[in-house]
Amino acid sequence: RILITGALGQIGSELVAQLRKEYGTDHVVATDIRRTENEVGIGGPFELLDVLDGKKMVEIAKKYQVDTIIHLAALLSATAEKNPLLAWNINMGGLVNALEVARELQLQFFTPSSIGAFGPSTPKDNTPQDTIQRPNTMYGVNKVAGELLCDYYFQKFGVDTRGLRFPGLISYVTPPGGGTTDYAVEIYYEAVKRKKYTSFIDKGTYMDMMYMPDAIRAIIQLMEADPTKLIHRNAFNVTAMSVAPEHFEAEIQKHIPEFVLEYDVDPARQRIAESWPNSIDTTAAKQEWGFHTEYDLSKMTKDMLEKLQAKYMKN
């Protein structure tokens, strides 16, 4: 069985659905700090869990006899920058609790890192798997500390920890909350609802992005990978495309010709975005566990617009 924290979030809601499809509904225990109307989390075993409550986390892990924990609960970059101490407490406190459960019960462990684990002094183009990581955001500090802590638990305690440095993730099931790359999700929702969007990230700001189906497949593929082939663990660079707001605009206009993109740059989130790479190198993931993606900008845009039109434009 698999225990998932933050199961009602942007990644969690789709990962729960896919894992339940592949392994069976009762195989996946969804947990989150609150219940929502989100049918995915409630469509099978669900427990309320605040990841700062390590005792309850162990109880749930034992109750369902889990063998894997996927720790997703965290504050994303923009929110973390507004509440840095709260972000440290939740992102690191939650991670330590989850790693301790994995150590005590000898569970396989996954938690995401991010392109946010890189900083202004990191090579910006085709960022290597192994390179300097001095992020200047609290979220980035959390992600680098998290990567080091997960590698430590692997080396020191033999916990089978694995991680992915995710780019911006784009999805239509559950919108993200508090990310810097959220513009790349909002743009599709607004294109369908209002045929216009005002981006808080500036024209020409390149960031790596990936469609959620590719991200979910990468998690499952990494967790099922042969451990003897893994040279790296926490965490692999993965991405599908390096794009800027104007690329989304041009692709959306192929489907909605009257779509208009305007800009009203948010300095706080623009600063975060500019501290991240323009593009990252995914050779290690490809070589060590066969990472690949199926969605490029064109295929993702077609699918996003179709799914959102079905969701919002019943008529």
Pairing of strands 241-243, 207-211: antiparallel
Nearer to ligand VAH, 113 or 301 (CB): 113
The one catalytic residue in 64, 139, 172, 197 is 139
Provide the b/e sequence for 258-293 (b: ≥16 CB within 10 Å): ebebeeeebeebeebbbbbbbbbbbebbeebbebeb
- From the CB of residue 132, how many other CB atoms can be counted at a distance below 10 Å? 11
Q: How far is the CB of 14 from ligand VAH (least distance, A)?
A: 14
- Enclosing H/E stretch for 4: strand 2-5
> How many whole angstroms separate alpha carbon 21 and alpha carbon 197?
35
- Enclosing H/E stretch for 169: strand 168-170
Give the pair of three-digit tokens for residue 116: 């946010």
DSSP string, 265-289: --HHHHHHHHHS-S-B--HHHHHHH
Q: How far is the CB of 157 from ligand VAH (least distance, A)?
A: 27
Q: How far is the CB of 156 from ligand VAH (least distance, A)?
A: 27
> How many whole angstroms separate alpha carbon 297 and alpha carbon 299?
6
Q: How far is the CB of 122 from ligand VAH (least distance, A)?
A: 13
Whether the CB-CB separation of 131 and 283 falls below 8 Å is answered with no
Pick from 16, 74, 77, 66: which is nearest to 41 by CA?
16
Q: Answer positive or negative: Cα dihedral of 80, 278, 308, 292.
A: negative
Nearer to ligand VAH, 43 or 213 (CB): 213
Q: How far is the CB of 167 from ligand VAH (least distance, A)?
A: 5
Nearer to ligand VAH, 45 or 176 (CB): 176
Q: How far is the CB of 173 from ligand VAH (least distance, A)?
A: 15
Q: Give the binding site for ligand VAH (CB under 6 A).
A: 76-77, 114-116, 139, 166-169, 176, 179-181
CB-nearest residue to ligand VAH: 179
Whether the CB-CB separation of 1 and 108 falls below 8 Å is answered with no
Whether the CB-CB separation of 210 and 166 falls below 8 Å is answered with yes
Tell me, yes or no, if 139 is annotated catalytic. yes
- What are the residue numbers of the active site? 139
